[in-house]
Amino acid sequence: MRKASIKLQQHRAWDHLKAITQPALTLAPTNYFDEIRAGCVAADIPGAVADHDTPWLFDRLIGAVQMQGISDANAAAFTAKHGIVSFADVAAALDADPDCPRLRSYWDFSDCRYRKAAGTCSEPRHLGRCPVPTHPTRKGSLIVAAYSLALFLRDVCDGDLVAWLDFRLAEADRGPGTLDRAVNMGAAVLGPLREISGIGEKVWSMALADLLLAADSDRERWVTAGAAMVVIDSLLHNHLHRTGTLRRFGAEHLYGPRCYGPGGCASIIRGLSDRIDARAFNPAFPASFPRFVQFAIWRLCSTSELDQCNGNRIDDRRRCINIGCPAFSDCDRVVLHQKPSGLPLPPKA
């Protein structure tokens, strides 16, 4: 009896989420795939993949890393003025045979612990002659990310990122139609990359999804794995909270690593995607397209897009009253910031 009740609750939760998400999907651009591919072509990513040009791909990935922890506009302004720590910069530093033992290999470097603001690291005796602090980046973790990624590409990928991606995806592939095929292939790639210092899963998912989706349409494993990658930012997490989705699934949690854990935001988005045939929006889409579903929800929330479900529109101390939101009638309108029991609401800033 209890199992039947839980199953019914789950069924109702999925029905509710589908109703909540339908307006966002209907309003999402049906040329989503084409826009990603056009952007990749304009940036010559297909050419770099075809040539197995690891240094060029490194520079693109490190460029994406600059966007974490700051607005895109501010990150772009800093990068335009100072540039990035390029593959050539790191290669030249490593070729100079620095004496710090942390720079001997990718695995040794994992415990570098360089902090720009504090001027500290795990090998203080070598810090004065170390090349890591010499690069102009806004924070030390970005320098660490560049060195860690470069060493990963050298020591783990044997200098060929494209070949490594091909190998990892093929090794994890149990064949078309197998359960969780796309997720398993994506995890086979993201698992090792998550260990690179200074680059989180959100950034990797964002950077890799478009690369895999659009760099080479003949690489079926790339396209399949890329389509299943989702990026959970605070906008999407808060939307799942406000709409009552997390509560209905018994998955309430704070924004952060749990979003990617079992039963978290990413898992819910993928589960929803398996229940929606994306080909209804564009016949060229895969039937299950988590990346598109995630993008559609994010677009509904983003101030630069449809500007509906976000903190500028909603006083998060109270239930949402944004009747202009196309999902309003189905939304549970759960308060995002609950006040402590017995205390008055704080003034809104």
Burial degree of 156 (CB within 10 A; 0-12, 13-18, 19+): middle
Say yes or no: 160 and 25 in one domain: no
* Domain that residue 22 falls in: 2-30+230-330
Of 227, 258, 287, the residue that ends a domain is 227
Residue 341, domain member (yes or no): no
- 5/10 Cα distance (integer angstroms): 9
Residue 39, domain member (yes or no): no
Say yes or no: 139 and 159 in one domain: yes
- 310/301 Cα distance (integer angstroms): 6
Which amino acid is it at 328?
Answer: F
Q: Which of 187, 262, 193 is nearest to 228 (CA)?
A: 187
Q: Do 317 and 346 touch, CB atoms closer than 8 A? A: yes
Angle ∠(101,105,108) on CA atoms, nearest 5 = 60
Say yes or no: 133 and 256 in one domain: no
The domain tally of the chain equals 2
Q: Do 115 and 140 touch, CB atoms closer than 8 A? A: yes
Residue 103, domain member (yes or no): yes
Residue 217, domain member (yes or no): yes
Say yes or no: 222 and 142 in one domain: yes
Say yes or no: 71 and 183 in one domain: yes
Q: Can you give the pTM of this predicted structure?
A: 0.88
Residue 349, domain member (yes or no): no
Of 177, 196, 227, the residue that ends a domain is 227
What is the full per-residue pLDDT of the chain (349 aa) written as tens digits?
A: 566 666 778 889 999 999 999 999 999 999 998 999 999 999 899 999 999 999 999 999 998 888 776 666 666 777 777 678 999 999 999 999 999 999 999 999 999 999 999 999 999 999 999 999 999 888 888 999 999 999 999 999 999 999 999 999 999 999 998 989 999 999 999 999 999 999 988 889 888 999 999 999 999 999 999 999 999 999 999 999 999 999 999 999 999 999 999 999 999 999 999 999 999 999 999 999 999 999 999 999 999 999 999 999 999 999 999 999 999 999 999 999 764 444 444 444 3
Residue 339, domain member (yes or no): no
Say yes or no: 121 and 253 in one domain: no
- 39/61 Cα distance (integer angstroms): 15
Say yes or no: 214 and 314 in one domain: no
Q: Do 318 and 346 touch, CB atoms closer than 8 A? A: no
Helix (H) or strand (E) holding 4: helix 2-27
